[in-house]
Amino acid sequence: MKKIQISPSILSADFSQLGNEIKRLEEGGADMIHVDVMDGHFVPNLTIGPPVIKNLRNSTKLPFDVHLMISPVHKYIEDYSKAGADIITIHPEATDNLIDSINLIKKLNKKVGVSLNPNTKLDIIDKVLDKIDLVLIMSVFPGFGGQKFMPEVIEKIKSLKKLKEERKLNLDIEVDGGINFENNKIVIQAGANILVSGTTIFKENNGNIKKNIDFLKLV
């Protein structure tokens, strides 16, 4: 059983203080930093790109768990690798050739993740499961923090965990969107070992990051 890890999303952070916010997350016990990259095309929101990530890189030694909600994604992968991403997660709908994009991320010696929107079926990644490090299951439609968790994805998490066990894969299962103290346990019991959270970590318990991270890990 993999250790439960927390990847706080900086989408809910104070963007005028991103470096300090990342330091607060590290002090609060974050295992990695979830960086939500949005292009206003693949998703209806625009956030940050490689120059900002490059400047944030020295704020922490924690891995940058970079979630690319951009399309087309293939031609930008190298930019995010150079900027300091440690995990690069892409959406299958955002590339013309998923295998090529996966192989490029691996060639750059980065961990590779594939993200499934709530309405994207597991079978789209069936043939690549043994080639990737992580599956990011979206429990909201991507684009914004603070949305409501979609419980219908729990079956998908369970099915993925079953596939992972049957094929003896060393795969991280990360869940992203609307994670809070009411649903974290059911998501972990379903098979997730990495939880993404923005709103809950930054806003609950008067913004006590350490308390919120510790609570999210409790099963």
Among 143, 156, 191, 195, binds ligand DX5 (CB under 6 A): 143
Distance between CA 127 and CA 67 in Å, rounded?
Answer: 21
Using CB under 6 A, pick the residue from 113, 172, 198, 212 that binds ligand DX5: 198
Among residues 28, 113, 145, 191, the one that binds ligand DX5 under rule CB under 6 A: 145
Cα dihedral 155/156/160/163 (nearest 10)? 70
Asked if 176 interacts with Zn ion (CB under 5 A), we say yes
Per CB under 6 A, the list member of 197, 209, 212, 216 interacting with ligand DX5 is: 197
Question: Does residue 8 contact residue 216 with C-beta atoms inside 8 Å?
Answer: no
Q: Are 101 and 81 in contact (CB under 8 A)?
A: no
The span from the first CA to the last CA of the chain, in angstroms, equals 13
Q: Is 36 in the site for Zn ion (CB under 5 A)?
A: yes
Answer yes or no: are the C-beta atoms of 157 and 177 closer than 8 Å: no
Is residue 12 close enough to count as binding ligand DX5 by CB under 6 A? yes
Q: Is residue 91 a contact residue for Zn ion (CB under 5 A)?
A: no
Pairing verdict, β 172-176 and 111-116: unpaired
Q: Which stretch binds ligand DX5 (CB under 6 A): 58-66, 171-179, 182-190, 210-218?
A: 171-179
Give the interface with ligand DX5 as residue ranges (CB under 6 A). 9, 11-12, 34, 36, 67, 140, 142-143, 145-147, 176-179, 196-200
